[in-house]
């Protein structure tokens, strides 16, 4: 019976030794994995620093561009206001021209006969002027 007790103690010791060996291997693999993860995180941290720097530069440029666009938009608003005023001026001028045109048309209708006579005399004067001019050229 003593032998049986020694054999069971030997089996337990061997099982314990196998378990310890397995745990040592597991811990070594875990250490390698953790080292790899730590290296990866260090690289990632460096990349994040670079990204942060580039993002800050991009944000500054974007802010400068937005400010420039706002300044140009303000200038453009002034131009649009000026064009709007010019449009009002043209509208007023057009109305004035229409009034003058209507007035002239009314006067021409009222004075048809005098207008026709003035046109006839104008034509006669132009023909006399042309004849004098032709005579001067032929001489």
Name the one residue in this structure whose structure tokens are 């250490």: 31
CA–CA distance, 33 with 84 (Å, rounded to integer): 72
- Give the chain's domain count: 1
Q: What is the pLDDT of residues 39-66, one digit of tens each?
A: 999 999 988 988 899 999 999 999 999 9
- In the predicted model, is pLDDT for residue 98 greater than 90? no
Mean pLDDT of the chain: 87
Q: Has residue 131 been placed in a domain?
A: no
- Nearest C-alpha neighbor of 21 from the set 9, 13, 10: 13
Q: Has residue 73 been placed in a domain?
A: yes
CA–CA distance, 115 with 108 (Å, rounded to integer): 7
pLDDT at 86: 77
Q: Has residue 112 been placed in a domain?
A: no
Q: Which domain holds residue 84?
A: 1-105
Q: What is the pLDDT of residues 22-42, one digit of tens each?
A: 999 999 999 999 999 999 999
Q: Has residue 110 been placed in a domain?
A: no
Q: Has residue 120 been placed in a domain?
A: no
Q: In b/e form, how buried is each residue of 89-105, taking b as 16+ CB within 10 angstroms? A: eeeeeeeeeeeeeeeee
Q: Has residue 114 been placed in a domain?
A: no
Q: Has residue 94 been placed in a domain?
A: yes
Please, is 71 exposed, middle or buried when counting C-beta atoms within 10 Å of its C-beta (0-12, 13-18, 19+)? exposed
Q: Has residue 12 been placed in a domain?
A: yes
Torsions phi, psi of 96, nearest 5? -65, -45
Answer with the residue of higher pLDDT: 79 or 130: 130
- In the predicted model, is pLDDT for residue 73 greater than 90? no
The pTM of this model reads 0.41
């Amino acid at each position: 019976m003593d032998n049986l007790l020694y054999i069971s103690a030997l089996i337990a010791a061997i099982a314990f030794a196998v378990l310890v060996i397995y745990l040592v291997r597991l811990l070594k693999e875990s250490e390698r994995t953790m080292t790899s993860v730590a290296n990866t995180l260090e690289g990632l941290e460096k990349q994040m620093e670079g990204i942060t720097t580039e993002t800050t530069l991009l944000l500054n440029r974007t802010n400068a561009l937005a400010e420039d666009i706002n300044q140009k938009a303000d200038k453009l608003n002034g131009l649009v206001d000026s064009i709007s005023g010019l449009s009002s001026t043209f509208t007023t001028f057009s109305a004035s021209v229409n009034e003058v045109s209507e007035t002239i048309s009314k006067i021409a209708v009222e004075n048809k006969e005098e207008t026709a006579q003035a046109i006839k005399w104008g034509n006669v004067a132009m023909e006399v002027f042309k004849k004098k001019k032709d005579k001067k050229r032929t001489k």
